[in-house]
Amino acid sequence: MNNADLTIYTLFICNKFRKKIANLQFNNIKTMPKISNKGKLMPESPIRKLVPYSEIAKKKGHKVYHLNIGQPDIKTPEVAMEAVKNIDLTILEYSHSAGNESYRKKLAAYYTNQGIPVNIEDIIVTTGGSEALMFAMGSTMDQGDEIIIPEPFYANYNGFSTASGVNVIPVISTIDTGFALPAIADFEKLISAKTKAILICNPGNPTGYLYSKEEIMQLAALVKKHDLFLISDEVYREFTYDGDIHYSVMNVPGLEEHAIMIDSVSKRYSMCGARIGCIVSKNKELMTTAMKFAQARLSPPTIEQIASEAALDTPQSYFDEVISEYRERRDTLVEELNKIDGVIVSKPKGAFYCIAQLPIDNADAFAQWLLESYDLNGETVMVAPAAGFYSTPGMGLNQVRIAYVLKKEDLISAVRILKAAIPVYNAMQVKA
């Protein structure tokens, strides 16, 4: 090879590589656009990380009692499912952005009948209580604003707040008062110029606490004093036991401009999959604003609205049976839990959850261990570690949320497993 040949050869080789490199740069070297900070901050479901362990348990052939979920095993009212089967639409059209007028009319009548006098224009039908809360937050809060929430609280409030750019300011309620309303002074200490609303869940998920009329009146005076909104998630309204009466924020005289009620058919009619809820308020400016959010997403689902409208014809006997069933389950659960040494549990007054404090160091590790390494005669239990329901780090570490959406016999079996497991787990901890 002479010099000229060598030069040509070198150029040829170089060119080949240059093309390869250019190709690599365009096609193979991954340039990555960035995820938002908001997206990074979005919390994971506190239960989700346990799901793989529950799958492991099931693969081993173990039966898992799910005390962790809020999906009731109660049948959906037949009137609702019949309405779906009898649907006679040739075009599945958009509904009104505020929801079908016929549904809103019946809803207004239903609330009025429940002692909450509202009109059709005070209601916007939403895709679940979730969307109602997103509309409430979007209409009342800007980036960096603050919402005060008594903790422990429904874990997804964190998600909605993060998605809305809002900061959650928790005020601690404690198991020794049964998660009663914290002192108003505790709220007042936290109120700043950025505070725009107080959010409560009544009756509470995960606490099962039902706020008294007096507690609601205290909150009402507080939000009026500081010009805040009082957002009340009342999706468990029908589920109160022991004759206690639910007192809605919509019942407080003079609170019309401040009160926002969040509601949903999910639990009331065991229609979680319908994703039909609503936002209710007498504040016209708020509702006009929420309506703009509603228009942007066009409308809530049409068929499920038809099911929800029909569900309003559910006979009272359905609720009587369901409530009596839940009351029995609650009593059984609390009675059984109290048989375990060192367990603290406050009797829930409503909804179908309770928080139990267990004689263990770390409910997260315990919940995982129950699924991964423990069984009693081939059966184990899945619980929701309560830390996920607190916003303050370090709170609720030895607590779990238990949903009593299982049959009585299953609740008894599940608690029996917990009772047997705790000493085994603790002995193992001491050894380690």
Residues 161-220 that bind a copy of itself (CB under 8 A): 163, 165, 196-197
Complex with a copy of itself: residue 254 or 342, whichever CB lies closer: 254
| Rounded-to-integer distance, Cα 21 and Cα 83, Å | 63
Size of the site for a copy of itself (CB under 8 A): 90
Quick one: which of 64, 68, 72 has its CA closest to 46? 68
Q: Does 316 participate in binding a copy of itself (rule CB under 8 A)?
A: no
Using the rule CB under 8 A, which residue among 98, 216, 286, 400 binds a copy of itself? 286
| Rounded-to-integer distance, Cα 259 and Cα 263, Å | 13
Which range binds a copy of itself by CB under 8 A, 32-40, 173-181, 186-194, 423-431? 32-40
Residue 88: strand, helix, or coil: coil
| Rounded-to-integer distance, Cα 333 and Cα 354, Å | 9
Q: Does 301 participate in binding a copy of itself (rule CB under 8 A)?
A: yes
Using the rule CB under 8 A, which residue among 18, 75, 189, 407 binds a copy of itself? 75
Residue 43: strand, helix, or coil: coil
Q: Does 34 participate in binding a copy of itself (rule CB under 8 A)?
A: yes
Could you tell me the sign of the dihedral formed by the alpha carbons of 247, 402, 413, 422, in that order?
A: negative
Shortest spacing between CB 430 and a copy of itself, in angstroms: 36
Q: Does 224 participate in binding a copy of itself (rule CB under 8 A)?
A: yes
**Contact yes or no for 174/355 (Cβ under 8 A):** no
Structure token digits, residue 334: 């609390």
Q: Does 407 participate in binding a copy of itself (rule CB under 8 A)?
A: no
Shortest spacing between CB 274 and a copy of itself, in angstroms: 6
Complex with a copy of itself: residue 269 or 366, whichever CB lies closer: 269
**Contact yes or no for 131/299 (Cβ under 8 A):** no
* Alpha carbon separation from 201 to 118, 132, 283, 406 (Å, rounded): 20, 14, 20, 22
Q: Does 421 participate in binding a copy of itself (rule CB under 8 A)?
A: no
Please report which residue ranges of 71-212 form alpha helices under DSSP H.
78-85, 101-113, 128-140, 156-164, 184-190
Which range binds a copy of itself by CB under 8 A, 172-180, 243-251, 269-277, 325-333? 269-277
Q: Does 22 participate in binding a copy of itself (rule CB under 8 A)?
A: no
Shortest spacing between CB 166 and a copy of itself, in angstroms: 10
Residues 92-151 that bind a copy of itself (CB under 8 A): 92-95, 127-128, 130-131, 134, 138-143, 145
Using the rule CB under 8 A, which residue among 44, 176, 242, 361 binds a copy of itself? 44
Quick one: which of 43, 118, 78 has its CA closest to 271? 78
Q: Does 295 participate in binding a copy of itself (rule CB under 8 A)?
A: yes
Q: How many CB atoms lie within 10 A of CB 291?
A: 17
Q: What is the largest CA-CA distance in the chain?
A: 104
Q: How many CB atoms lie within 10 A of CB 283?
A: 19
Shortest spacing between CB 198 and a copy of itself, in angstroms: 11
Shortest spacing between CB 231 and a copy of itself, in angstroms: 11
Q: Does 227 participate in binding a copy of itself (rule CB under 8 A)?
A: yes
DSSP state of 122: G
